[in-house]
Amino acid sequence: MPEHVRPIVLIGAGGIVNDAHLPAYKAAGLPVAGIYDLNEGKAAKVAEKWGIPVVYRSMEELLSRAPGSVVFDVAVPGSAVLSVLEQLPRGAVVLMQKPMGEDLAMAKEILDLTRRMQVVAGVNFQLRYAPFINAARSIVRAGLIGELCDIEVNVNVYTPWHLWDFLFSSPRVEILYHSIHYIDLVRSFLGNPASVYAKTVGHPAMSSLASVRTNIIMDYGQMVRANILTNHCHDFGLKHQQSYIKFEGTRGAIIATLGVLINYPEGVADKFEYVTVEKGAAPVWQTLEISGSWFPDAFVGTMAQMMIAAEKGCAPANSVEDCIHTMACVEAAYISNERGGVKP
């Protein structure tokens, strides 16, 4: 956490703001000074619910009345991020909701703009700051499971996509708005892959969405496996729904269950299990109690990074300079999807 918190001004009042940003900021004691949305009525309802003192009626009013040393929290669809950034002042501190634009070309425009305007900019890839990921990272860094050689993400759930209306007109859905989190997470552990293989498809019951199921292989050579498998269409009850991230090393493993994705948005309890193998001893899996979850607690981490960066004059760990590589991996996945497999 930063030594001195800054006021936050929200641009956008959608579901993610209500469900994650504001609960996280309240729990962490981060002050929200004002909110703006194209739909003023929606912004007013959010402000009333969370005790936000000011609802701005326009971007012009926001920029003229926003307090100094503010962090702009831009929670708008990827297609609108660039147009919002263009209106913010030089040297602003900005946390933008993922994705970093609709595609790699737009991500590069965003990166160029932040460089020209000397903006301290980060992207809200918050999964890398989830409490169970913090725990997993500590275990991996301490060498407790040996050399990390396998990361697998497996999501088999039913996702109520109707909660995000804008996705129904988007040419890219599953990878750009969901699996992008896992791509970023794998990068945060293993660095940039040599290549990306992917196939993303729709579903007959969700034909109005571009894609809702994906397989991704991130290539890290001959000794490391990184696989992402997602299916958002398992509408057959909760019995066989699952959502987990597995980290496997040469001397142990970690399995973190992401309960928030099962029966979304109510979710189920997370679970964190790990095993370390000692020579001559049988493996014994243990459960570790983790305080907090992905939603909303991880959103504290991304915002804290922005405040620390502004405070210390450094780049945040989730900077646009780093996250452009996540966008490059996403683009590679879509190119791989278009090129198809090799005919036998």
Find the mean pLDDT for residues 241-264. Answer: 97
8-126 placed in CATH 3.40.630.10: no
C-alpha dihedral, 199 to 263 to 186 to 287, nearest 10°: -140
Whether the predicted pLDDT of 1 surpasses 90? no
Find the mean pLDDT for residues 258-266. Answer: 93
Whether the predicted pLDDT of 142 surpasses 90? yes
Q: What is the mean pLDDT of the chain?
A: 95
Tell the burial category of 189 from Cβ atoms under 10 Å away from its Cβ (0-12, 13-18, 19+).
middle
| pLDDT band of 343, cuts 50, 70, 90 | confident
Count of alpha carbons within 13 Å of 207, Cβ hemisphere only? 2
Q: How many CB atoms lie within 10 A of CB 18?
A: 16
CA distance 81 to 88: 11
Beta-carbon contacts of residue 193 (< 8 Å; ≥ 6 apart):
186, 187, 218, 219, 220, 226, 329
pLDDT of residue 62: 97
Which 3 state secondary structure label does DSSP give 279?
A: coil
pLDDT of residue 211: 97
pLDDT in tens, 101-120: 999 999 999 999 999 999 99
Q: What is the pTM of this model?
A: 0.94
pLDDT of residue 163: 87
| pLDDT band of 133, cuts 50, 70, 90 | very high
Instruction: Specify the residue for token string 């913090």.
Output: 134
pLDDT of residue 278: 86
CA distance 313 to 306: 10
pLDDT of residue 338: 95
Give the tokens for residue 314. 């450094």
**Domain coordinates in residue numbering, the chain:** 8-126, 128-287
Taking alpha carbons only, the member of 73, 62, 63 closest to residue 7 is: 73
Taking alpha carbons only, the member of 152, 171, 155, 199 closest to residue 334 is: 199
| pLDDT band of 340, cuts 50, 70, 90 | confident
Q: Which CATH superfamily hosts domain 128-287?
A: Dihydrodipicolinate Reductase; domain 2 (3.30.360.10)
In the chain, the percentage of residues whose pLDDT exceeds 90 is 91
Assess contact for 181 and 230: CB atoms under 8 A. no
Angle of helix 180-190 relative to helix 131-141, nearest 10 degrees? 20
CA distance 41 to 56: 11
CA distance 21 to 295: 9
Whether the predicted pLDDT of 77 surpasses 90? no
pLDDT in tens, 264-312: 989 999 999 999 998 888 999 999 999 999 989 999 999 999 999 999 9
pLDDT in tens, 31-56: 999 999 999 999 999 999 999 999 99
